[in-house]
Amino acid sequence: MNKKILVRTLLSGIVVFVWQFVSWAVSPLHQSSQSHTPKQDSIMQFLNSMNLEEGGYFMPMPKPGSTPEEYEKFANESEGKPWAQLIYHKNNRNDMSLNMIRGLLVDLLLVFLLFGLLDLIPAISILQGALYACTIGVIGFIYEPYTHYIWYQQPGIWSYLLDAIAPYAIIGALYAKFWRK
C-alpha cells in the first residue's frame, strides 16, 4: 500500500471516529435512544429476577410454533396496546479500550472501501466528492437504521441520518481536494 493511501485512510478514519465520539458521547444527538428512567433500578431488579437468557426480545410476541391463525388472533388482540423491545445482557462487560480499537479499525476499513470506490471515478470536484461520499452514507442509513425505524420506530432516527451525512461529506470533500490520484 502506498503512503498516500495509508495517510488518507488514517486521517479519514480518525475523522469518522471523532465524529462518532462527539455524536454519541459529547453531544445530545443520540440522547433519545439512551434515555434515563428513574425506575431503572426497579426494572433491572425485575429483569434480573426473571433469569432471562442474554438476547433480544420483542414483547408481546406469540409463542414459537404458533399457527397462522394464532398469530393473526394475537396481532388483532395486541393492536393499540403497549409494546417493547429489550436487549438483555447478564453482565456489563464494557471494555472501552477494546471497543475503541475495534471501532477505529472498522472506521479505517469503511473509508478505505469508500476511497476504493471514489478512485474509480475519473475526475471529481470537492462538491462531487462530498455528494458521492454522502450517497454511500445515506445508502447505509436507509439499509439499516431507517429500515429498522420503519418497523420499530427507533428513537433518534434523525441523529442517525446526520451521522450518515456529516462525516461522509467531510471525508468526501477532503478526498476530492487532497487525495485524488
pLDDT at 165 over 70: yes
Read off the pTM. 0.82
Question: CB-based contacts of 48: which residues, under 8 Å, 6+ apart?
Answer: none
What is the signed CA dihedral for 15, 156, 113, 26, rounded to 10 degrees?
Answer: 20
Q: Which residue has the cell 454522502?
A: 134
For 103, counting Cβ atoms within 10 Å of its Cβ (0-12 exposed, 13-18 middle, 19+ buried), the class is: middle
Q: Where are the domains of the chain?
A: 3-36+94-178
pLDDT digits (tens, 9 = 90+) for 48-84: 999 999 999 999 999 999 999 999 999 999 999 999 9
pLDDT digits (tens, 9 = 90+) for 24-47: 989 988 988 888 999 999 999 999
pLDDT digits (tens, 9 = 90+) for 11-30: 999 999 999 999 998 998 89
